[in-house]
Structure 1
Amino acid sequence: MSQQLAEVETLFLHEARSDYTVVVTREGSRVLQGRLELKETSAGPRPGKFRVTRDGEEHPRPPDEFVDLARAADRIRISQQTSPTARERLTAMLDGYQLEAITVRTCRRCSNAGRYGPITADTAIEHNGEHICRDCARRELERELSYAGSFTGAAEERLEELLYDSRDLDRIINLLSGGLDPDLTKYDEVSANVDDVTPVRTADLDLHPDLAAHLEGRFEELLPVQSLAVRNGLLDGDDQLVVSATATGKTLVGELTGIDRALRGEGKLLFLVPLVALANQKHEDFEDRYGDLLDVSIRVGSSRITDDGNRFDPSADVIVGTYEGIDHALRTGKDLGEIGTVVIDEVHTLKEGERGHRLDGLISRLKHYGEEHFADRGEHGGIQFVYLSATVGNPEWLAERLRATLIEFEERPVPIERHVTFADGREKARIADTLVKREFDTKSSKGYRGQTIIFTNSRRRCHEISRKLRYDSAPYHAGLDYGRRKQVERRFGNQDLSAVVTTAALAAGVDFPASQVIFDSLAMGIEWLSVQEFSQMLGRAGRPDYHDRGRVYLLVEPDGVYHNSMDRTEDEVAFTLLKGEMEDVTPRYDETAAVEETLANVVVAGSGAKRLNDRMVGEVPTTHAVGKLLEWSFIDGLSPTPLGRAICRHFLAPDEAFRILELVRQGRDPYGIVADLELREQD
């Protein structure tokens, strides 16, 4: 008992039916718990029975031991939940020993459980009509989370933060079931940021008369990023890396110089994108915009079995293509004609696994094409390269590696609110419907109704969500024919549609004036979105000519995954994306990537392959790659063997090539071989 007396800091008393709970704490930890009964004496209430709880059992102690504890305490506190009559008895008992106590607001749950849990106006958390302490609220939240699903640490931290900020556990529990309380779902706000750039007037541009007339009919002044590009040598043929947010007018930078040079007879424009769907859309846009001035063609990736390039016209003035489509033409020795300008859209693709090193190689091979065909026109055959990206973590480094002038414009014309709410996958469409309706029922100060882009991860899901929205909406994806997509664009532009539901894969090509973006999924196919992709997609929310602000909602399934290969859940990914910094754009070369690009460079440039490798953005281990190519009989000296040429033509990795050879030796037919390869890719 002497040790317990030395450890008394706070003595806490709380009414419990006919007796009182006694708790002794020191430095926030409980060192003793017991029960006290009072008896009436001629001198007033006095300790009657005192029992101390140890190992779940109560042990009687002399009543005087309670008095010793009380005298040793630095402070004595009585819970506010103790009834007035019981409080008067305790106070009278303590007065008999010349001891003072203060009544304090405490957590009832703690008191009933034998814990001292003081609460204040700043720490009390409301739940079911009463106020409880933070610890009890956190325990109750953890219990609710166990019912709702497997939340990760990042999600739990966010919910605890909201719990302590709102001091209302009931609102947090409602959030777990898809509640849309904007004060709780709001994660942060990206402020508007408008750089002061003096615009260039279109009438002052030294352009071909046909292009000048075309532009002056559309607008009088260039947007800031376009003005910066022009002032920094765009129309003088300088290579540029243009980094600017979504919907700030980057595409026209490439068009200005590429269309102008094509009209002047200074070489065609190659406009390259990563996906077939984007190439199709961009081809349609160029055909509509410049088809009366120039011949426009398209070149996309070829089949594994046949090279179906029947739509490709190499003599066209404008060729819209995928990276793979143009690279295939180079690998197979096709004549692309006289090239004046190459625009590489979505150049941050350089950081992606398989597609990144292929884009890196393509850029080097295009420069080699210029040097081989137009050596008298200067560096890389006088071809001007314009690289476009909304998001790059290391723009200065990338511009240096590409030997391009950096044009960086960080403008956010309207603020964007970013919201997170948790929802079971079956509830997401219902929540999206509520958000779409709420947005469409409002108007901006410019007189425009709020409209929504919903991003999801499959074409089937696009139709499924669209059917469940009360207001008129439409799916929009690469599987729709040209007429259907144009109809959707027109209806959205006329404000006849409340929303479009589109795939994340088409995010770069979607150009709807939306005020709100909803992420039904944070995946693109079976891969989680990168920070770059996420940033680009959320940047679709809010246009300065239409809206006062943008809104972005992430509908997050706590333990959701979309493929068994995913090693993280959707709630983990959500907070990584929201907190994440832009990744550096740097191609990574393992042995497979180095061998593939070195082989392609040997096929295209022969003994000049090392020079092509050396000027690529990523660091290619050329010596090791050449050694492997020789070992595997893909090259003979610095010339491709028939096997190496076939592997290069079909973009095969070495392991795929070896698998094909094995199947050929087994007598498998070509279609069976392709089927085998496709199945292996899906595993």
Structure 2
Amino acid sequence: MSKQVLDVDTLFCHEEGRDYRIAALRDGERLFGGKLEVKSTDAGPRPARMRVRRGSDEDLRSPDQFVDLARRADRIRISEQTSARGRRELAALFDGYQLDATVVRTCRYCADAGQYSPITDDTAIEADGEQICPQCAREELDREVAYSGSITSRAKNRLEDLLLEVQDLDRIKGLLSGTLDPDLTKVDEIAATIDQVDPVRVADLDLHPELSDALQDRFETLLPVQSLAVEHGLLDGADQLIVSATATGKTLVGEIAGIDRVLRGEGTMLFLVPLVALANQTYRDFQEDYPDLNVSLRVGSSRIADAADGRFDPGADVIVGTYEGIDHALRTGRDLGSIGTVVIDEVHTLGELERGHRLDGLIARLKYVTSDAQWIYLSATVGNPGELAEHLDATAIEFEERPVPIERHVTFADAYEKVDVTNKLVERAFDSKSSLGYRGQTIVFTNSRRRCHEISRRLQYASAPYHAGLDNRRRERVENQFAEQELAAVVTTAALAAGVDFPASQVIFDSLAMGIEWLSVQEFHQMLGRAGRPDYHDRGRVYLLVEPDGVVHGGQERTEDEVAFQILSGEMDAVTTPYDGPAAIEETLANLAVAGADAKQLNEALLGEIPTKHAIGKLLDYDFIDGLEVTPIGRVVTEHFLTPEEAFLMLDGARKGKPPDAIVADIELREDDL
């Protein structure tokens, strides 16, 4: 060793068996490492020999060279992990040469590798019952992540930030296997906020006496968003777009306007929702709240039993319908009577790829056949309320109240671990009660009906699947059981996202996909908004169970962990209606069926841009229209919401004499290939 090499500022010693690892450092950089053998003499412990390692080479050095190295060092440090016997031996050795040595806390991983890495209370990371430095902890975490499956840099950065915050590697590693540590899984909290709005007294409203009495039996004053709507002309016939969080009272805004006009003889109230499950519940709610009114239900293309005469009644006081149910009535020329109020719930559906154009067309067609109706649009998730309200010729009423805070949590779990994690969360929630005396109940969102049943079967506490494939009676039974707190959880697809009234305290995302597509920011916010109800819970909790590197199908570019952090921090997109060729053809054909030569006027009223000339040309080519008259085949296509491809598959199958079930199979197989 040259004199230059021996100029060191720190000599570090760490016990290894009966010998000691040593490291020489200058300005914090390791110059070399080696091993020191110690012998016992009459004068006390003394260096026997030193082996210096340089790469794969090892050179023997004399005891005097070690003593010289120690004397040149500014300080001598002994690892705290060195045993008491070893520390005494080293202290006696250095004392024999009038040298002071200090015992310090160091990273054991570094010390075992011949590295000097002092740690303090602020930097030490707990790992397997000992303390290591942050760098070694990160490297251990990297190995655990690699074992669990690759995760995005954003997810990894979050884990590393948590590691430095809690200084416990084992707790962080636990997150990768679904450990439910609330302090670690919690990403953020959406605080409860209450905008200062002067409440309007129900008794002060200019309402029909029957409605006023009914409302005063339920509450004395309106909620803030309802008060704002009244202040901005709700009872004067103003069209309004109401944008406010779930459970803030949006539905009653449409109810007040519509029922008041019904009672004054100013037309039927039409209340439209996107899903059958929500239509059924809304229908029952209106029957219960207004037993003296004739309430009818219209879903799909069927006639559904109601309280009046067992059939859909277009002359009812209140018609609750799905978008498709009412659109089918329009496309088939059914008379919907004199409509005084139209309420469109979940109007953000306009932005959905599959259903958006149908709601867009439905609004245009309804406006064409109803000239004097008041329009109320409701949503919790609209990124561009002002722009959308302008297009709808409505006043935007925005209210940012969040009745209860919502905690948002992320935990990592492989697909096979997710049900176990869900089970623990469901049990923990149901075993607790809010200050209002209600048990915690859970909505579990997953991406398929099959998965709904699989999860529900495996949960230990009472639960039930809930999706559009169940019949009305079974869905109603689940709703009642949940309301009576007989169920700890419901497991559902997107059906509940649209607002079916399950007072859950907790929402769990078993998957961040619905079907085969990742959730959008709007869809995510719509679903998480189901957690926490002001009259039931003190707070809501949302858990994202994220599979590292997980995908639903091979064609997806993003993984589940990447999607998780994007939707947690993402901004809601503007609600616009996308149109591809088939969508443009479908809506143009429907508009021709309803409005004939005025179809161009309806097309121009759509939110999305539609190439009318191109669509007309295609409809002529397909023989779906003759001039601007819808042909018999075109009428069948539009009345049954068929795409041109589906229509041609049916025609081809019929011409070839295929049985109906074979034709349906051909269509299903085609859809699976898309």
TM range (shorter): 0.7 to 0.9
Offset, 1:469: 4.7
Offset, 1:163: 2.3
Offset, 1:100: 7.2
Q: Does 1:398 align with 2:350?
A: no
| 8 A Cα contact 2:578 2:608, kept in partner | yes
Q: Does 1:193 align with 2:193?
A: yes
Q: What letter corresponds to residue 403 of structure 1 in structure 2?
A: D
SS of the counterpart of 1:676? helix
Offset, 1:193: 0.6
**In 2, Cα distance between equivalents of 1:257 and 1:265:** 13
Distance 1:498 1:632, change over 3 A: closer
Distance 1:611 1:2, change over 3 A: farther
TM-score, with structure 2 as normaliser: 0.86
Aligned to 2:504: 514
Q: What letter corresponds to residue 415 of structure 1 in structure 2?
A: P
Distance 1:51 1:658, change over 3 A: farther
Cα deviations across residues 591-641 of structure 1 (Å, max 9, x unaligned)?
Answer: 333343334334433443333233322233445545555566655555555
**In 1, Cα distance between equivalents of 2:325 and 2:31:** 75
| 8 A Cα contact 2:281 2:500, kept in partner | no
**In 1, Cα distance between equivalents of 2:580 and 2:518:** 22
Query: How do 1:69-218 and structure 2 match up within 5 A?
Result: 77-83=77-83, 103-218=103-218
Aligned to 1:261: 261
Q: Does 1:294 align with 2:294?
A: yes
**In 1, Cα distance between equivalents of 2:451 and 2:635:** 41
Offset, 1:473: 4.5
**In 1, Cα distance between equivalents of 2:578 and 2:27:** 54
**In 1, Cα distance between equivalents of 2:588 and 2:341:** 25
**In 2, Cα distance between equivalents of 1:200 and 1:426:** 52
User: Which deviates the most, 222-231 or 204-213?
Assistant: 204-213
Aligned to 1:337: 337
Aligned to 1:585: 575
Q: What letter corresponds to residue 366 of structure 2 in structure 1?
A: L
**In 2, Cα distance between equivalents of 1:28 and 1:672:** 77
Aligned to 2:226: 226
Match of 2:407 among 411, 417, 429: 417
SS of the counterpart of 2:170? helix
Q: What letter corresponds to residue 383 of structure 2 in structure 1?
A: G
Cα deviations across residues 36-87 of structure 1 (Å, max 9, x unaligned)?
Answer: 4567999998876454434433245688887887788787644333456655
Distance 1:96 1:653, change over 3 A: farther
| 8 A Cα contact 1:478 1:506, kept in partner | no
User: Which deviates the most, 39-48 or 207-216?
Assistant: 39-48
**In 1, Cα distance between equivalents of 2:642 and 2:567:** 33
Q: Does 1:524 align with 2:514?
A: yes
Aligned to 1:556: 546
Match of 1:650 among 612, 632, 640: 640
Distance 1:44 1:417, change over 3 A: same
Distance 1:502 1:624, change over 3 A: closer
Distance 1:643 1:33, change over 3 A: farther
Aligned to 2:524: 534
Aligned to 2:323: 323
Offset, 1:576: 3.0
SS of the counterpart of 1:354? coil
Distance 1:674 1:22, change over 3 A: same
User: Which deviates the most, 88-97 or 433-442?
Assistant: 88-97
SS of the counterpart of 1:353? coil
Aligned to 1:454: 444
Offset, 1:427: 4.2
**In 1, Cα distance between equivalents of 2:608 and 2:31:** 63
User: Which deviates the most, 5-14 or 205-214?
Assistant: 5-14
Query: How do 1:637-676 and structure 2 match up within 5 A?
Result: 638-640=628-630, 644-657=634-647, 659-660=649-650, 663=653, 666=656, 668-676=658-666
Distance 1:334 1:443, change over 3 A: closer
Offset, 1:587: 1.6
| 8 A Cα contact 2:361 2:606, kept in partner | yes
Aligned to 2:307: none
TM-score, with structure 1 as normaliser: 0.85
5+ residue gaps, structure 1:
304-309, 371-380
5+ residue gaps, structure 2:
304-309
Alignment RMSD: 3.7
Aligned to 2:348: 348
**In 1, Cα distance between equivalents of 2:539 and 2:160:** 28
Q: What letter corresponds to residue 355 of structure 1 in structure 2?
A: R
User: Percent identical across equivalent pairs?
Assistant: 68
Offset, 1:569: 4.2
| 8 A Cα contact 2:300 2:328, kept in partner | no
User: Which deviates the most, 276-285 or 89-98?
Assistant: 89-98
Distance 1:465 1:666, change over 3 A: closer
**In 1, Cα distance between equivalents of 2:359 and 2:609:** 14
